[in-house]
Amino acid sequence: MNDLTQPLAAAQAETRKRWSLAELEALYALPFNDLMYQAQSVHRAHFDPNAVQLSTLLSIKTGGCSEDCGYCSQSARHDTGLEREKLLDVAEVVTTARAAKEAGATRFCMGAAWRGPKEKDLGAVTEMVREVKALGLETCVTLGMLKPGQAEQLKDAGLDYYNHNLDTASEFYGQVITTHTHADRLDTLAQVRDAGIHVCCGGIIGMGESRRVRAGLVLELANLDPQPESVPINMLVKVPGTPMAAVVEQSGDLDPFEFVRTIAVARITMPASHVRLSAGRQELGEGMQALCFLAGANSIFYGDKLLTTGNPDVSADNALFAKLGLNTEPVQGRRCAGH
Ligand code: SAM
Ligand code: DTB
Ligand code: SF4
């Protein structure tokens, strides 16, 4: 390790400390270069600074969701023009997963627009998990709230990660979602953890929230014990017809430096977690994404589509990795990808 990592012993010793809101607000308030230095120092002590993990998303059940999440294109309560679709066939999912692996992804994340899975649907999803895992990919699903016993069924099928975001700080939650609560989210996260599945949990910023709310979200994530293995940080994708897009129309877009600061604060407070630069990369552009990697992001969603909205093309991402000298994590059964 070089001398850039010297201030780190203290940060490492604090890995499992309980953070306070005041401490996180103080990190946010640092001069940008100081914040980047701290984040990069923490990053280097825990990870290869030039490595990025690639996850590919697939929406296995699109639209018609009962929930009212104010940012979401898939809520039946918002008029976004999105067609409701049936659960995809296992074969179609496997074909897409194989292509994702070929393109260089190491993890395949399957998302469903459900409040939570029904028993009969869970059977189909466990089959998808088994088959995708058999391809040599890590598996992740995001299916909404789980009932007792469902996490165990997913674990038995070989599920590696369950994505369930806190989305925003508890104090702001009711302004974004009313059909379930922040406490409901914590309950599902506890079930996932108890079943021995890795936790993928993050949130969305750029919904007209204050910096205090952003700090509050990162605080709640960092104080989960154990901390989530994966932390997706999404920038709101403004989907026409959603309440949050209308709010941001009024309040104005989030300053992208605030997004970079959020990545840095997540990195510093969750030193051993993969911090994923998630939705919103198209809007960020190459320069801001490079700053996010410098701030400690070491994972992205890779593939031309997120769930229902766009993402940078694979060829554009591969070109960016080459420009920045970023290495992608090796795929099982393949040497390397991305450059
Ligand atoms: N229905 C499940 C749930 O809510 O947990 C899984 C799918 S849901 C689409 C997964 C996550 O995508 C949400 O928790 C949210 O963080 C993110 N997301 C959805 N729409 C978004 C948007 N317009 N911009 C940014 N992130 C978004
Ligand atoms: C996460 O935190 N972001 C992903 C994944 N987990 C499921 C989803 C982003 C969705 C962006 C809007 C869309 O494509 O519908
Ligand atoms: Fe449904 Fe998930 Fe979208 Fe909320 S975020 S409306 S639960 S698909």
pLDDT digits (tens, 9 = 90+) for 1-23: 344 444 444 544 455 679 999 99
**How far from 95 is each of 7, 132, 135, 139, 309, CA to CA, in Å?**
47, 9, 10, 15, 20
| 292 has catalytic annotation | no
Using an 8 Å Cβ cutoff, are 167 and 188 in contact? no
Cα–Cα dist 13/29, whole Å: 23
Choose, from 107, 185, 193, 200, the residue flagged as catalytic. 200
Please give the pLDDT value at position 338.
39
Ligand 2: distance of its center to the CA of 307 in Å?
6
Q: Report the first-to-last Cα separation within the chain, whole angstroms.
A: 26
Give the E-state strand segments of 184-243 in sequence order. 198-200, 203-205, 230-235
pTM score: 0.94
For residue 180, give the ligand nearest its CA: 3
Chain segment 80-92, per-residue pLDDT in tens: 999 999 999 999 9
Segment 317-339 shows an average pLDDT of 76
- Segment among 173-187, 280-294, 323-337 with least mean pLDDT: 323-337
Cα–chain center distance at 21: 22
Phi, psi dihedral angles at 248 (to 5 degrees) = -70, -25
Cα–Cα dist 48/334, whole Å: 20
Choose, from 185, 261, 267, 276, the residue flagged as catalytic. 276
Cα–Cα dist 56/75, whole Å: 22
Segment 31-51 shows an average pLDDT of 98
The token pair at 170 is: 């508890």
Measured from the CB, is residue 142 less than 6 Å from ligand 2?
yes
The closest of 41, 56, 36, 72 to 262, measured between CA atoms, is 36
Measured from the CB, is residue 306 less than 6 Å from ligand 2?
yes
Ligand 3: distance of its center to the CA of 76 in Å?
9
| 140 has catalytic annotation | yes
Measured from the CB, is residue 279 less than 6 Å from ligand 2?
yes
